[in-house]
Amino acid sequence: MNPELIKKLPKKPSKIKFYSTIGLVAAIIISSALFSGFSFLDIIRNLKFAFRLIDSMFFPPAWSYADNVIKPLLQTIQMAIAGSFIGAVFAFPAALLAANNFIKIKWLNTSVRLFLNFFRTIPALVLASLFVAIFGIGSFAGIVALSIFSFGLISKMTYESIEAIDFGQVEAIISLGGNKFNIFRYAILPQVLPQYMSYTLYAFEVNVRAAAVLGYVGAGGIGQTYQIWLDLRRFDRVGIIIIISFLAVLIIDFISSSIRRRLV
């Protein structure tokens, strides 16, 4: 081969960077596990207790108690529906204010984003604990907690979708003398609405799972029933609660995912 041509060929990239990155990631994972007290030995040593608990819950579960699970489970789903809907209603206008390509006021965009980030950093379980202290034990506290959680989640994904729209439509409306309302009605809404609805359904899926444990802090739903029988060590009833909850979440996820695929 021509020596001049060999000189022009690109050199094989060094693998030092690749191996260094792998080593750094591995070191972070291992050090995090050690710092948090994670141990495979503890898992192995306690396997017999885990199998004993599983045997108590599922072999067999208390099938006769199944009818009593339906009402609190429906309450959990209703909490998730209400929380998702309320959060979604307030999320869209907040997303419009946060999107820097619709209302181009930097301090306003930044302030709204910080406001949204604040709510997204607080887990639904913590919110439920706070609202139980304010409103008392019951599903109302859970709905308020899920509404705020949904608001933070949906608004963030929505304003990111608004910023990613095809701006050609916006420019076309502006060139025809359109105002902000025209831009929103004919450029932003048609592009973002399917994604916004998809995000709302996704929040509902997440909220069904979250609502299932909010009762553990007194916020109503299936979690409260779960806590009662767990405290009483009636693991056979805990097992049937887990089975029915799992099937309900599975069905909801399947239906919601099917709808979301058609929307986007």
In this structure, what are the phi and psi dihedrals at residue 136, rounded to the nearest 5 degrees?
Answer: 95, 170
- The pLDDT, as a whole number, for residue 239 is 86
pLDDT in tens, 74-86: 888 888 899 999 9
Cα 149 to Cα 203: distance, rounded to the nearest angstrom: 9
- The pLDDT, as a whole number, for residue 87 is 92
Spans in the chain with pLDDT lower than 70: 1-14, 263-264
Among all chains, which residue has been given the structure tokens 């995000």? 199
**Six-digit token pair at 126?**
């913590």
Helix (H, G, I), strand (E, B) or coil at 13: coil
Cα radius of gyration (the chain): 25
- The pLDDT, as a whole number, for residue 11 is 61
- The pLDDT, as a whole number, for residue 254 is 84
Q: Show me where the domains of the chain are located.
A: 62-263
pLDDT in tens, 171-230: 777 777 777 777 778 778 888 888 888 888 888 888 888 887 787 777 777 877 888 888
- The pLDDT, as a whole number, for residue 88 is 92
Q: What is the pTM of this model?
A: 0.78
What CATH number was assigned to the domain covering residues 62-263? 1.10.3720.10
- The pLDDT, as a whole number, for residue 57 is 83
- The pLDDT, as a whole number, for residue 151 is 92
- The pLDDT, as a whole number, for residue 14 is 63
Cα 50 to Cα 77: distance, rounded to the nearest angstrom: 29
